[in-house]
Structure 1
Amino acid sequence: MDMRERLIESTRELLWERGYVGTSPRAIQERSGAGQGSMYHHFRGKPDLALAAITRSAEDLRARAEAELSGGGTPLERVVTYLRRERDALRGCPVGRLTQDPDVMADPALRRPVEETFSWLRGRLAGVLAQAQAGGELAAAPDPAATATALVAVLQGGYVLARAAADAEVYAQAIDGALGLLVPAAPPRSR
């Protein structure tokens, strides 16, 4: 990994762990092994580097979700696969946690990739849910856009509840509950 990549990856991890204010240039340099000159050779400053890191986290979230939502199986099976994917519930979502960071949310450039990613995810899930409805897997009654928004809210809220309880099982229960409402005959998760 070249120095630019090490800087981005180190910043991604630090933003996830500490937030924007806690991610100092010194911490980035220490984590990445970069010197100050190297950091400023690749990036104009902390905001520029943070934007690259946030954008990368958003791209990764989209790529993983897209792989599951366009993978094998019926549309509803793909939604279940996405929701039940192995996640580090106690660590939380690297993009979702940024919404709780006032410095990221106050900066339009830093907020943009977060906002765009969740908008994309809601839209992508709504499209797959509409496919499930068209194929008769899902009742015609629930609005796909509203249901997709609720599912994203359950995912993000599940992280919050699991962290508050220091128990990943709480996250799994949130997903199970959402699936039970969406698909009463959803197969139970393997424990």
Structure 2
Amino acid sequence: MSTPDRLIEATRELLWERGYVGTSPKAIQQHAGAGQGSMYHHFAGKPDLALAAIRRTAEEMRETAGRVLDAPGSAYERISGYLLRERDVLRGCPVGRLTMDPEVVASDALRAPVAETITWLRERLATIVREGLDRGEFTPGIAPDDIAASIVATVQGGYVLARAAGSADAFDAGVRGLLTLLAPPAGTARHTDAVVSHHPAS
């Protein structure tokens, strides 16, 4: 891995664990195994490096979510796949946690990739819900944008509940509840029970 990549990866990890204020240039250098000269040769400073790290984290989240949401299957199955995919629940969402970081939220530049990614996720989910409505997979009359917001809120809120309890059970319960509410009308295929039973412990 190149020095810039090591610095970016180190910053990503530290931002996730410690937040912006707790991620000092010295800690980044130590974590990356790079000297001060190398860091400032490739990046103008901590804000520049943090922006590169946040952008990479946001891109990775889009790629991970996109692989599930673009997979074959019904709209319900794809949403289930997104909700039930393996996560490190107790660490929280690397993108979602940035919204609780005062330094990130106060910076238009640092906040932009986070806001763009959450907007992208909501729009992608809303599109899938519309597809499901068109195919009769969901109860008629539901609002795709509202459902998409509820899905994102369930995931992000589930992280908070799980971290507070020190257990992924609260996250799992929220996901099961939402999938029950989204379950296709009677007479269409339902996969809730089978999918939930395979939800990873983390």
Length-normalised TM-score, structure 1: 0.98
1:127 matched to 2:127:
yes
Is contact 2:77-2:191 (8 Å) kept? no
In the other structure, the counterpart of 2:99 is 99
Contact (CA 8 Å) 1:180, 1:186: kept in 2 or not?
no
SS in 1 for 2:71: coil
Equivalent residue, structure 2, for 1:136: 136
Which residue matches 2:187?
none
CA positional deviation for 1:77:
0.7
Deviations, residues 55-104 of structure 1 (Å, cap 9, x unaligned):
00000000111111111111211111011001111000000000010000
Partner-residue secondary structure (3-state), 1:90:
helix
Aligned-pair identity in percent equals: 57
The match for 1:178 is 178
Distance (whole Å) between structure 2 residues aligned to residue 13 and residue 127 of structure 1 = 32
Aligned length: 191
Which of 171, 179, 197 is the matching residue for 1:190?
197
Q: How far apart, in 2, do the equivalents of 1:141 and 1:85 lie?
A: 28
Q: 1:123 & 1:187 partners in 2: Cα distance?
A: 23
Unaligned stretches of 5+ residues in structure 1:
none
Aligned to 1:14: 14
- Separation in structure 1 between the aligned mates of residue 49 and residue 121 of structure 2, nearest angstrom: 24
* Whole-angstrom CA distance in 2 between matches of 1:99 and 1:50: 14
Which residue of 2 is the match for residue 114 of structure 1?
114
Find the aligned partners of 2:142 and 2:64 in 1 and give their Cα distance: 26
Partner of 1:154: 154
Deviation at 1:186, TM superposition (A): 4.5
Q: Compute the displacement of 1:140 (Å).
A: 1.9
Q: Work out whether 1:42 is the aligned partner of 2:42.
A: yes
Taking only aligned residues, the RMSD between alpha carbons, in angstroms, comes to 1.0
